[in-house]
Structure formats: C-alpha cells, structure tokens
C-alpha cells in the first residue's frame, strides 16, 4: 500500500537526498524542489499530501512560499513542516502564524522528522472534532457543552479563558501554537494581550490540572503544544 506524497524543499542537495532517502525507505512518495519558485509550482501541480519546507531558500524564501500556499484555495489545506536553524525563533513564530503545522530545527534527526511527519499525516486523515464534541485524553475529559473538565475523576474549576485554551489545544493534539494563535482562538483577533499574560494563563491552567498539567508542553521560543 503506497503512502502519502511528500514535497521536500531545500536548496542543499545533501539534505534533500537525506530526507528523500529516509522517506522513500518508509514507503513515502517524494517530490523535490530546490527553490521557492519550484516549490510553488510543484505544490500547485502535484498537490502533495505534506510539504517539508526549508526557510532559507534562494529567491522566494520559505516564509513567502508558506504564505502564498496558504493563500491559495488549491493548496491551503496541505500541511507544512518547516525546516529551520535553531536561532530563527522569530521565523518559526511567523511561519506558524502564516499557517505552517510544525517545524524541525537543523541539524535534525531523520527519526524525529519521520515521527513528526507521521503525526502530521494522522492529523490530516481525521478532521477536527465538532465544536461540541467531548474531548477525552486518557483520564482527562473536556466537555464543551457543559464547560466541564474532569481530570483523574476530579472536577476542575477553570476560568472561561483557561477553559478556552484547554479546549482549543486538546482538540488539536500535537500542533504547535504561538501565543497569539492561542489568544486569538479564545478571545478573537485584536484582543489587547501580551505574551506574558498568555504564559500566566497557561501556568494557572497547568497548576489547576495538577498531575495532568504535563499534557501542555512549552515549545521554547515559540509557544505551546498539547501532547497526549
């Protein structure tokens, strides 16, 4: 059974070959592009299932490629994993807010890349739960209709903002969210808030969840991820 098709975009030939080799060994179909222009063409022409996108590209850079792909109805739903240098936290945040789904830092482990790719594929195969669907993660239950949270059989009292953050993230396990994405989802765009206030809300949420607070992981320099 053939697996998904992955478009790999990187201007370094050795990295292209490394990623292509490891993906093909796992059964994935691959397409390669070395420039942003080629990436845009291949994405629109072949409509791959996932795109692995380097940010540092000649000509049209990775962030611009991401922006254009997410702006086009034909390619907007294609998941994007960004490849980035560790020092590019600001670019990671920008990429995620443009619509990228995840990121890998260079130098990277092929095993980590494959694990992230498989997680992206799993998420894309299943649609997000309906707005009022109860979320169950082990013994953590989030009920949006009753605005009720139960952890280990114990009901947890949360503020409206804390509940909104938990519901939003738990419905999308594995996704990386910037602080502005989190607050926009809960309060709406243009709501006056600082990054520090989001950290305070998350810290309070973790504290109330107790032993279940570990589901919310800090992604250094970027934001947060809910891990099952």
Strands 135-137 and 140-143: antiparallel
pLDDT tens, position by position, for the chain (228 residues)? Answer: 458 999 999 999 999 999 999 999 999 999 999 999 999 999 999 999 999 999 999 889 999 999 999 999 889 989 999 998 866 788 889 889 998 999 998 888 999 999 999 988 887 776 556 667 888 888 899 998 888 999 989 999 999 889 999 999 998 888 888 888 888 877 765 555 667 888 999 999 999 999 999 999 998 888 999 987
Domains of the chain, residue spans? 5-125, 135-226
Residue 216: name the closest of 156, 180, 169 by CA.
169
Give CA–CA dist 106/103, Å, rounded: 10
Measure the CA–CA gap between 166 and 164, rounded to whole angstroms.
Answer: 6
The answer to whether 48 and 80 are in contact (CB under 8 A) is no
Question: What's the fold here for domain 135-226?
Answer: Arc Repressor Mutant, subunit A (1.10.10)
Residue 71: CB partners within 8 Å, gap ≥ 6? none
Structure tokens, 105: 């830092």
Q: Do domains 5-125 and 135-226 have the same CATH topology?
A: no
**Which residues have a Cβ under 8 Å from the Cβ of 202 and sit 6 or more positions away?**
165, 182, 216, 224
pTM of the full structure: 0.74
1.10.3330.10, 3.40.50.720, 3.40.1440.10, 3.40.50.2300: which CATH number matches 5-125? 3.40.50.2300
Distance CA 150, CA 164 (A): 15
**CB-neighbour burial class of residue 194 (10 A; exposed 0-12, middle 13-18, buried 19+):** exposed
């Amino acid at each position: 059974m053939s697996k998904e098709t992955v478009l790999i975009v990187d201007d370094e030939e050795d990295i292209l070959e490394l990623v292509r080799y490891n993906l093909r060994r796992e059964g994935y179909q691959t397409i390669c592009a070395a420039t942003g222009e080629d990436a845009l063409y291949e994405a629109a022409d072949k409509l791959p299932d996932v795109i692995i996108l380097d940010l540092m590209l000649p000509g049209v850079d990775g962030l611009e490629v991401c922006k254009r792909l997410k702006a086009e109805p034909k390619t907007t739903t294609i998941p994007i994993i960004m490849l980035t240098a560790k020092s590019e936290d600001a670019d990671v945040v920008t990429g995620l807010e443009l619509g990228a789904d995840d990121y890998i830092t260079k130098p990277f482990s092929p095993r980590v890349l494959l694990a992230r790719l498989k997680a992206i594929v799993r998420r894309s195969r299943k649609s997000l739960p309906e707005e009022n669907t109860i979320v169950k993660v082990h013994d953590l239950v989030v009920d949006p209709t009753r605005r009720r949270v139960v952890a280990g059989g114990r009901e947890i009292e949360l503020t409206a903002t804390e509940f909104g953050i938990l519901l939003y993230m738990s419905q999308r396990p594995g996704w990386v969210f910037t602080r502005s994405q989190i607050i926009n989802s809960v309060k709406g765009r243009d709501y006056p808030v600082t990054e520090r206030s989001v950290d305070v809300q998350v810290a309070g949420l973790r504290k109330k969840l107790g032993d279940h607070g570990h589901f919310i992981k800090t992604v250094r320099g970027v934001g947060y991820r809910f891990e099952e």
